[in-house]
Amino acid sequence: MTRIALIAHDDEKPEMIDLAQSYEATLSEFDLVGTGTTSKRIMAETDLTVERKESGPMGGDTQIGAEVAEGRMDGIVFLRDPLTAQPHEPDISALLRICDVHDVPLATTRASAEYILEGLAQDRADD
C-alpha cells in the first residue's frame, strides 16, 4: 500500500487540515503516518486514520526519515512555515536530505502536495 507522511509546522496545521479534508477520499486509500500533533488534528477533523509518531520536537520527523531510509515511504507532505518556524518545530534539512538520497518526493507547499497526492493516486490506479 502507498505510504505517505504528513507533517506540518504549527502555523501550517490549519492548511494541512484543509488539505486532508479536500483530499480525504484520496488519502483514505493510502497508509498514513504523521508527527504527533498533526496526526491527532487530522484524525479529529476527518475520518482518516493516521499512524502517530512522536511529535516533531520529540523526534517524529526522524522516525519518518528512518522509514524513508528503510524504503517504507512513498512520499512526504511537510507543510512548513519558511518565515516564522519556531525552534521547537521539526527541521526539514535532514528529512529533505534523506528523501533526496532515496528518491522519495517531499512537498513543502500546498501546490506541490497536491501534485504528489494526485500522482501517487494515479500510480495506484495504474497498478
The binding site for substrate comprises 9, 13, 35-38, 55-56, 88
Annotated binding site: 9, 13, 35-38, 55-56, 88
Q: Name all contacts of 113-122 with Cβ < 8 Å and 24+ positions apart.
A: 113/19, 113/77, 113/79, 114/19, 114/23, 116/4, 116/75, 116/77, 117/4, 117/23, 117/26, 117/27, 117/75, 117/77, 118/26, 120/2, 120/4, 120/30, 120/74, 120/75, 121/26, 121/29
Q: Is 126 a catalytic residue?
A: no
Catalytic residue among 11, 18, 31, 61: 61
Task: Indicate which residues carry an active-site annotation.
Answer: 61
